[in-house]
Amino acid sequence: MSRWMAPVRWWNGYVDFWREREAPDAYAVARITWGLAVAGNIVHQMLFPGVVTLYALPEHGGTFGWNGPPFYSLFQFFDPTAEAVTALAIANLVFALMLTAGAATRLSALALMAIHITLVGRLSLYGFGGDIVVRVFSFLMVLAPLGASWSVDAWLLGGRRFVPVWPRRLVIAQLTFLYVKTGIVKLGSQWSFSGGHSAVYYALNDPSFARVDGSWLAWVFPLTQIGTFVTRWWETLFFLLPWSMYLRRPKDRPGLLRKTLGRFDLRLPMLGVGAILHLTLFATMDLGMFPWVTMALYAFFLKPSEARWLLTRVLPERLRFVSDEVAAPEAAPVDAPADPVPDAPEPA
């Protein structure tokens, strides 16, 4: 009988996994890092080479022609003139800063998504990875309870004790898919021993992206080989990070896999390597704001207690916008009551 009940137990466990709730502090850190990164991406486009050059029609000083907007574009209602794209870029920056502060948080996230996908639809040659990352994750930001604490919304309307954990897990799953797929598609010989692990060396010598002349890299070619090897396999094996987070969740009867692989918290080494790789990319290659936008998502890997510790040491007391009573709970089980549950386990 127990054999036939196993699928039911697995399904119930799957449902409970996505229904868990937690304190909202990790969402607050993620909102701040994401909002600032998106704002930086917008400012970067305003300065290099300018939003009119990127998005306006050629007769209005732009670069790309016009074949009509996609159905989801705001350009269904007006043409991308110089004035229109400038107004959209300014509005996008304002909404990014509002999102950072947690003011009209969900509306700001929705407006940010609508304007961004409208503008990115006009990009062709100038598209950067950062624009793609913002487009992909903007929808998840609309779903996430980013303004539940440490925000203007929480200050004016009151914070929330517990929030769903599933939006944070969806962001982690999406970022994992992005990294793993990027690692798997690196199939060229330059990414393997047959090509001498020379991909990073050639990329840093590509005048289209390199910030400086890369001829000096010939003297440190072995270091570029190490960078090639680490980059490919770090991306390919990134799935180990969310897997280890799952295995480290509290469980009454841990199995062998949980006892072995679940013993190690891979967040610091995996995300630390990722930060080093992204910062190196930013220092050596002109990839726009892609490294910063991607690293902004690392905040979703924080536990609520870790996020709260960080917020209380970075933000001034007057910017908390949330009482200690609201921010206190560590986590909440499924169907948590209004009052905090003592010693509730903290979801991964």
Q: What is the 3-state secondary structure (H, E, C) of 186-245?
A: CCCHHHCHHHCCCHHHHHHCCCCCECCCCHHHHHHHHHHHHHHHHHHHHHHCCCHHHHHH
DSSP secondary structure code for residue 285 in this structure: B
**Residue (of 34, 336, 38) closest to 165 by Cα position:** 336
**pLDDT bucket at 107, cuts 50 / 70 / 90:** very high
For residue 348, is pLDDT > 60? no
Give the pLDDT confidence score for residue 146 in this predicted structure.
96
Strands of the sheet with 21-22, listed across from one edge: 163-164, 21-22, 331-332
Task: Quote the pTM value.
Answer: 0.88
Q: What percent of the chain has pLDDT over 90?
A: 54
pLDDT at 255 over 50: yes
List C-alpha distances in Å: 143 to 18, 27, 110, 139.
Answer: 14, 11, 9, 7
Distance CA 253, CA 132 (A): 42
pLDDT value at 252 more than 80: no
Region label for 73, one of left (φ > 0), alpha (ψ between -120 and 50) or beta (otherwise): beta
**Pairing of β 331-332 and β 163-164:** unpaired
Question: Taking the alpha carbons of 199, 200, 204, 205 in that order, is the dihedral positive or negative?
Answer: negative
The reply to whether omega before 49 is within 30° of 0 (cis) is: yes
How confident is the model at residue 295, as a pLDDT?
Answer: 96
Q: What is the pLDDT of residue 340?
A: 38
Residue 207: predicted pLDDT = 87
**Quick check: 80 pLDDT over 50?**
yes
Q: Over the stretch 316-330, which tens digit does the pLDDT of each residue have?
A: 765 656 544 444 444
What's the mean pLDDT when you consider all of the chain?
Answer: 85
**pLDDT reading at 261 higher than 50:** yes
Report the pLDDT averaged over residues 101-121: 94
Tell which wins on pLDDT, 86 or 159.
Answer: 86
* pLDDT for 7: 82
Cα–Cα distance for residue pair 43/253, rounded to 1 Å = 51
198-246 confidence digits (pLDDT tens): 999 999 998 888 888 888 888 999 999 999 999 999 999 999 999 999 8
Q: Is the pLDDT of residue 176 over 50?
A: yes
Q: Confidence class of residue 339 from pLDDT cuts 50, 70 and 90?
A: very low
